[in-house]
Amino acid sequence: MSEVKKTTEKNSPIKECEERYPEMTKEFKTILNEEYELFCRKQLNYGPENISVGTRCETKEERHLSLTGLWFRMNDKINRLKQLVLLSKEDTVGESIEDSYQDLSVYGVIAQIVSRGKWGK
């Protein structure tokens, strides 16, 4: 787990970035909130077991299993994006490019939660 360097309000990279790029940083926060809402809705539908694969995600081996499953899901999304973006193939399943990016982003956060031993807690 990487550590974020503590900064004072005076030299805050967040403050500086928000001042330089107000629209971009506002949109970033909006997207994060949308992804958090999607995450919560899906957790209410699926529960944590879809990621923990029937384990409690407590041991190194259980987390490895979950992370392997997440890798497969993320690989599916990367290949979907390859078809839509790089190869310009038409969508035939009703999942947009934005949906694929959103899913990939949420899976990335879930993987970090699993890695930190907090999944399902």
pLDDT at 3: 57
- Distances 32 to 15, 48, 74, 114 between C-alpha atoms, Å: 18, 20, 18, 19
Tokens of residue 112, six digits: 């970090």
Residue 3 φ/ψ region, left for φ over 0, alpha for ψ in the -120 to 50 degree band, beta for the rest: beta
Q: Work out the average pLDDT over 102-116.
A: 98
Write out pLDDT tens, residues 7-36: 566 679 999 999 999 999 999 999 999 999
Domain residue ranges in the chain: 12-115
